[in-house]
């Protein structure tokens, strides 16, 4: 008979049976440094003081398991990837120690306003859902650093979104965005901004305030020319403008757009551009 895998004793209470049927409820995994992978069961009731990471990915779940709420005081990371969950229960937002919430590839249609309770949340992944908008009080999640919301029918960002001043990475590819808020430049800590496959035609003038931005992906949008304001983002290293209807790269005033004199740019993608007006000649 093959031996059972080793589990740290801290994951078990003295009142829990060590029978094989009990052990099967917990599978150790190294995926994303997960402590434990739990399937819906109640056999670990009473161990909330030791569980900080739960992974229910690919479990064919239609709702958030109630067992999660037993760990609301200590839960820091929750993975619910690739299920069929349609809504988030109010109890989930009592998990105020939560730092990472990962729910890509589900059936969510909205983010409840109660997300404002997750004041320690740093990473949010809601990609590949049916979410149409962010609630304005997302601004209360002031610790948010990474937001992945690609492949959702999001048409606009609320003004409250621009108050996420600790945001460093934003992924909103394959959405329905037609414009960004005028004060988008408030997100001055952004280093990566991906907005591929939207309906953007212009960029707000305030975007020049993104002084730490290194990667900007505007591919597959509806730009007809390179936004002049981009020349003022001096730390930019990657700029993707492929699959737009670019007619030219305009000059800024009387000066042509020159990548190396104004940028640290090492990658500039302009596929499907029809002509270049004397600019970019300084690219290596």
* Average pLDDT for 11-22: 32
pLDDT tens digits for 239-277? 999 999 988 665 434 444 544 434 566 667 765 544 445
Distances (CA, A) of 91 to 72, 87, 201, 279: 9, 12, 41, 55
Domain match, 159 and 72 both: no
Domain match, 258 and 234 both: yes
What are the b/e assignments for 10-45, b being 16+ CB within 10 Å? eebeeebeeeeeebebbeeeeeeebbbbbeeeebbe
Domain final residue, candidates 63, 81, 100: 100
* Average pLDDT for 135-145: 98
Domain match, 76 and 137 both: no
> What one-character-per-residue DSSP string does 167-212 give?
--EEE--SS------TTGGG-TT--EEE--SS------GGGGG-TT
Domain match, 194 and 90 both: no
Asked whether residue 10 is assigned to any structural domain, the reply reads no
Domain match, 179 and 252 both: yes
Strand, helix or coil for residue 35:
coil
Mean pLDDT (the chain, rounded): 81
Asked whether residue 175 is assigned to any structural domain, the reply reads yes
Domain final residue, candidates 100, 119, 137: 100
Cα Rg of the chain (Å, integer): 23
pLDDT tens digits for 88-139? 999 999 999 999 999 999 999 999 999 999 999 999 999 999 999 999 999 9
Domain match, 65 and 131 both: no
Domain match, 81 and 201 both: no
Domain match, 90 and 134 both: no
Domain final residue, candidates 79, 100, 121: 100
Asked whether residue 4 is assigned to any structural domain, the reply reads no
Owner of token pair 């779940």: 61
pLDDT tens digits for 166-211? 999 999 999 999 999 999 999 999 999 999 999 999 999 999 999 9
If we measure between CA atoms, which residue out of 61, 101, 58, 60 comes closest to residue 81?
A: 58
If we measure between CA atoms, which residue out of 148, 157, 156 comes closest to residue 129?
A: 148
Domain match, 76 and 96 both: yes
Domain of 120, in residue numbers = 108-271
Domain match, 257 and 132 both: yes
Owner of token pair 């670990």: 44
Q: How far apart are CA 172 and CA 157, in angstroms?
A: 10
Domain match, 195 and 152 both: yes
| Cβ 78 vs Cβ 100: under 8 Å | yes
């Amino acid at each position: 008979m093959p031996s059972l895998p080793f589990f740290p004793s801290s994951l078990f209470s003295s009142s829990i049976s060590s029978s094989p049927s009990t052990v099967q409820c917990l599978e150790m995994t190294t995926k994303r440094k997960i402590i434990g992978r739990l399937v819906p069961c109640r056999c670990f009731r009473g161990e909330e003081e030791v569980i900080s990471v739960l992974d229910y990915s690919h479990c064919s779940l239609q709702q958030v398991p109630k067992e999660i709420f037993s760990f609301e005081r200590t839960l820091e990371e929750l993975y619910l990837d690739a299920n069929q969950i349609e809504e988030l229960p109010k109890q989930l937002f009592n998990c105020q120690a939560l730092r990472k919430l990962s729910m890509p590839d589900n059936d969510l249609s909205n983010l409840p306003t109660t997300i404002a309770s997750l004041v320690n949340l740093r990473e949010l992944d809601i990609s590949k859902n049916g979410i149409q908008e962010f609630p304005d009080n997302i601004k209360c999640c002031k610790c948010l650093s990474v937001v992945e919301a690609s492949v959702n029918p999001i048409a606009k960002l609320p003004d409250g979104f621009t108050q996420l001043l600790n945001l460093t990475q934003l992924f909103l590819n394959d959405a329905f965005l037609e414009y960004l808020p005028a004060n988008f430049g408030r997100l001055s800590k952004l280093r990566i901004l991906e907005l591929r496959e939207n309906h953007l035609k212009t960029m707000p003038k305030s975007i020049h305030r993104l002084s730490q931005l290194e990667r900007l992906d505007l591919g597959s949008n509806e730009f007809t020319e390179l936004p002049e304001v981009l020349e003022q983002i001096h730390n930019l290293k990657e700029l993707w403008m492929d699959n737009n209807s670019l007619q030219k790269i305009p000059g800024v005033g009387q000066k042509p757009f020159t990548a190396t004199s104004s940028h640290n740019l090492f990658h500039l993608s302009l596929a499907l551009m029809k002509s270049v007006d004397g600019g970019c000649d300084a690219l290596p």
